[in-house]
Structure 1
Amino acid sequence: LAGRWSDAAAPGLAAFLADAQTRVKGYADDRTAAAVWEA
């Protein structure tokens, strides 16, 4: 993720969700990602 998210601009929503792999089937598959980009 560091390589893909290291640009000055934040990734688009689709790219962010694809990288975080947010397809979950239940609470056990939950994944959390936090990222901060300067505005």
Structure 2
Amino acid sequence: MGYWLSEHLCVSYALLHLSNGGLKNPNPGWDSQRLGLSYDY
């Protein structure tokens, strides 16, 4: 349950971030790692 929840939040966060122009994020460290994880599907 906990693993699925974290994966779901990662995807939701990535989609929200991309819809807000996440690819132009000025602080790429933590956020890009989260986005990178979500892209591995």
TM-score normalized by structure 1?
0.27
TM-score by length of 2: 0.27
- Give the helix-richer structure, 1 or 2: 2
Q: Which is greater in Rg?
A: 1
